[in-house]
Amino acid sequence: MNVLVTGGAGYIGSHAALRLLETGHAVTIVDDLSRGRRAAVDRLEPLGDLAFVETDIGARERVAGVFRDRRIDLVMHFGALAYVGESVEQPLRYYRSNAAGTLAVLEAMEDAGVTRIVFSSTCATYGAPSSEDIPITEDCPPQPINPYGRSKLMAERMVTDLADRKRAGGGDFAATILRYFNVTGCDPAGRLGEDHRPETHLVPICLEAALGGRPNVSIFGTDYATPDGTCIRDYVHVDDLIDAHLASMEALAPGDVRTYNVGTGRGHSVREVVDACRRVTGVDFDVTEAPRRPGDPPVLYADPSRIGRDLGWTARRTDLDTTIADAWRWKREHPNGYE
């Protein structure tokens, strides 16, 4: 199959491209490199039929031309901005990238006659569910509380509205929306890793502190209504997440519109993750307490049973220390990321 991967130079997109190439698919990466890493693409190029196009996903005509030139069968759409705090400070930038960017991708798909998409969404679409809604099922009403979550929910609705229109007209458009929880870990073979600039994710921040690359780790908010006062999240290994993408891709049938949570079904608090990083690294790095960040809900973890029933997917790497160990292996060997 010929698969176009938007955001394929980024953390999750590059891992998806790696797996697609390893399983014999042709891959075309579209990425403007504003957050992605060209070095990640370089590592992928020897592995199979890979083309890289450096462009913004909002460049509709150019992207449609790539669809036609590469005879694309399916889109995995990862290209987006994904920092909650940044979205609060720069909301319009997030609507432009995540909502308008998805609109341009869908229009380019229409222009080129491409009818299948697996869309990268987020648990941030749920907002701050009540305790009765935890663990979160796909039927939990979406009520995002920050521009990141709202922009992704807008994009989801574009995908489902287009799919509904195509289905009503007898078309064969098919879509799967995957709502991620917190993604961590790296390729266990060490070929790819997590390299964000700036880094805002908890595990790599802890690993940077363990290496001496930052003086301490800040815990944002210690007064939440949780057992230890810190936020609770569901941490899914990036390789498990990519398994879910391939299962979704292979199961798509004409007219399908599916939405799945992708998580482990278990939550870990910030303090638990910090302690696990200390155990794995053997370094007792400093931790400071800081005020809450705007837009952070207290508890988010998944009920992933629907994707298990429908596609047979379940998270296989559920031990937090093992997941962190994969990330630690990459970080020790690449303390400055791909540079």
Asked whether 244 and 250 are in contact (CB, 8 A), the reply is no
Residue 290: count other Cβ atoms within 10 Å of its Cβ. 11
Dist. CA 86–CA 94, nearest whole Å: 9
Here the tokens at position 261 are: 């949570």
Dist. CA 339–CA 326, nearest whole Å: 19
Distance of CA 304 to the CA centre of its chain: 16
For 248, phi then psi, to 5°, come to -65, -45
- The catalytic position among 11, 94, 95, 148 is 148
Dist. CA 117–CA 156, nearest whole Å: 11
The 8-class DSSP code of residue 184 comes to E
Separation in Å, CA 301 to CA 127, 128, 181, 235, 247 = 12, 11, 7, 8, 21
What contacts 296, CB < 8 A, 6 or more positions away? 84, 220, 221, 231
What contacts 272, CB < 8 A, 6 or more positions away? 228, 320
Dist. CA 76–CA 24, nearest whole Å: 16
- Catalytic status, residue 180: no
Q: Which residues are catalytic?
A: 148
